Structure 1
Amino acid sequence: MASHDVFARSVVDSSNAPRARAQRLARVRVAGTVGRVPFESARAIAPVTALSSVGSTFDVVDAAAPPLSTWATLDQRAGRGRLGREWVAPAGRCLAASIVVRPSASADAWGWLPLAVGLALAEAIDPLVPAATVGVKWPNDVLVDGRKVAGILCERRGDAVIVGVGVNLVLEPHELPTDRATSLRIAGAEGDADALADAVLAGVLRGIQGAADLDDADLHARIAARCATIGEHVRVLLPGDRTLVGTVTGLGPAGELDVDVDGRVERVSAGDVTHVR
């Protein structure tokens, strides 16, 4: 995903988002089925609507659809991230998908959802780049060898959460927006964009299925083990423009980030995190 902003960890409430969905759908092109079936492996797990192009998958997703229903494309032209920021990627080179999730846990545990999706993404990417190290950067990025390859945005709509994922598939070095980004191709993944997108999306859907209980202690332990931010010296920009600088010691009971600042532990529930190098 060609973006370098960090998405909010907390789930954004956007219950009024479906208002203009009908008009947006009229402008969407649905991918055809000539040749390879788009997202064939992912379709074996959940309903997937493959879009040849779209403004944003968030704009066309149906929050009333069954759990794991997915809208996916390799040509998203007006994607959005945290605080209304845009992210733009060359057509055919990045995966963008929106997935309907209905967490069974209480809303207090929903802070774990972006981290659980990050874990699912990391585990899906692992076999594609066997020589690389894949980790989750709090709150909702996935890193390959310390560089961002994917991001996550969660948006609440009624009793559902729409999980948006963006993955840099086959971007070349000159196409990256920052030296802190990478792509699966750069990290050594083989195959074309369609095959990589299908493998990643199928793995993410399986991972979300397996993380149905956000209160599960084993899930929390797996997330912590995969979290590349734990143990790092970080700078955290908090809401209100307050900044913390310290060392991350672990995750809190609701997925917060615990930061040791001069011997005092600050528990961070939302913020922009930079690994200080």
Structure 2
Amino acid sequence: MLTPIDVQRLTTELPTSHAWGPVVHLDVTGSTNAEAAERARPWSPVLADLQTAGRGRLGRAWQEVPRAGLAMSVLVPIPPTPGWLPLATGVAVRAALSDAGVAVGLKWPNDVLATDDGDRKLCGILCQMLPDGAGVVVGIGINVHHERDQLPVPTATSLRLLGADVDRTDLAAGVLRHLRARHEDLVAGGERAKGVHAAYRVACTTIGKEVDVHRPDGSVEQVVATGVDDDGRLVVTGAEGSATVAAGDVQHIRPAGVPPRP
């Protein structure tokens, strides 16, 4: 039987004396991002065992299996370079998973891929600015205990399928602590922010790949990803030269005969 989040232990790991807000745990919610936005309490994590109306980028709908995944959101102050927040969150998730012995890569701008399982998607990240500009809700969804038939698409995987026995409470604490540290680096700027940038670029599997860029207007452009600039935008080179991508969807292009990637 899958166990619930241990709220008392997580509260101990994230004490209010260190400027964490109270831990909110819900059995069921529509969206942890919406809950965190409504509560509007900085650094107060919202977790749910079942999320019924979760949304990914570009409005994609998905629904969690009860207690199988880690679905959580937290409101954070806007850093000086907001475009780096989803990327820094990926760095934080990667660090927490590394602590658990799991190797992952980062797909720009907000997916975490399992390098030992064909680059299948292990985690998605969704950052949403509050309407009043008072902060950004960072939403994180990690597939933890799912079996293969419980995943929504064949391009997804879980920690269980990777052979990793991970406690969701420990994982939540690790991700949140790493996120707080990377956020502080972005706010500090200078060499500390550059350290986050460097860590992301090393881990980003998009750099160097041919990609299809699906832009918000519906157009698709095939380009080569060559880097990530200091504003967090993807740098690409195509038929018309170099450009940057700040919004839209990026899909890695696979060689013939290779199974689809996320």
For normalisation by structure 1, the TM-score amounts to 0.77
Could you say which residue in structure 2 is the equivalent of 1:123? 95
Distance in 2 between residues matched to 1:250 and 1:243, nearest whole Å: 19
Superposition map of 1:23-172 within 5 A: 37=8, 39-40=10-11, 42-44=13-15, 46-47=20-21, 48-62=23-37, 65-105=40-80, 109-130=81-102, 132=103, 134-145=104-115, 146-157=119-130, 158=132, 159-172=134-147
Are the structure 2 counterparts of residues 214 and 85 from structure 1 closer, same or farther at C-alpha, using a change threshold of 3 Å? farther
| Structure 2 CA distance for partners of 1:40 and 1:191, relative to 1, 3 Å | farther
Work out the CA distance in 1 between the residues paired with 2:227 and 2:151: 31
Matched pairs, number = 240
8 Å contact kept, 1:104–1:213: no
Structure with the greater relative contact order (CA < 8 A, sep ≥ 6): 1 or 2?
1
Deviation of the 1:83 alpha carbon:
3.2
Closer, same or farther: CA 59–138 of 1 in aligned 2, 3 Å? same
- 1:244 has 2:221 as partner: yes
Q: What letter matches 1:245 in structure 2?
A: Q
Are residue 274 (structure 1) and residue 251 (structure 2) matched? yes
Per-residue CA distance 1:78-103 (angstroms, 9 max, x = gap): 21123332111210101111111112
Give the SS at the match of 1:74: strand
1:164 is displaced (CA, Å) by 1.0
Cα deviation for residue 137 of structure 1 reads 0.7
Distance in 2 between residues matched to 1:86 and 1:213, nearest whole Å = 35
Distance 1:214 1:42, change over 3 A: farther
What amino acid maps onto 1:49 in structure 2? V
CA contact (8 A) 1:124 1:204 kept: no
Ranges in structure 1 where 5+ consecutive residues have no aligned partner:
1-30
Counterpart-to-counterpart distance in 2, 1:121 and 1:257: 20
Question: What SS does structure 2 have at the residue aligned with 1:171?
Answer: coil
Shift of 1:112: 1.0
Counting aligned pairs with the same residue, the percent is: 37
| Cα separation, 1, equivalents of 2:166 and 2:135 | 34
Aligned mates of 1:214, 1:111 — CA distance in 2: 14
Aligned pair in 2 of structure 1 residues 246, 68: CA closer, same or farther (>3 Å)? same
Q: Over aligned residue pairs, what C-alpha RMSD do you find?
A: 2.5
Q: Helix, strand or coil for the counterpart of 1:258?
A: strand
Q: Bigger CA drift: 253-262 or 148-157? A: 253-262
Provide the TM-score with structure 2 as the length reference: 0.81
Gaps of 5+ in 2: 255-262
Distance 2:212 2:159 in 1: 27
1:190 corresponds in structure 2 to: 165
Residues 99 and 164 of structure 1 are in contact (CA less than 8 Å); yes or no, is this contact kept in structure 2?
Answer: yes
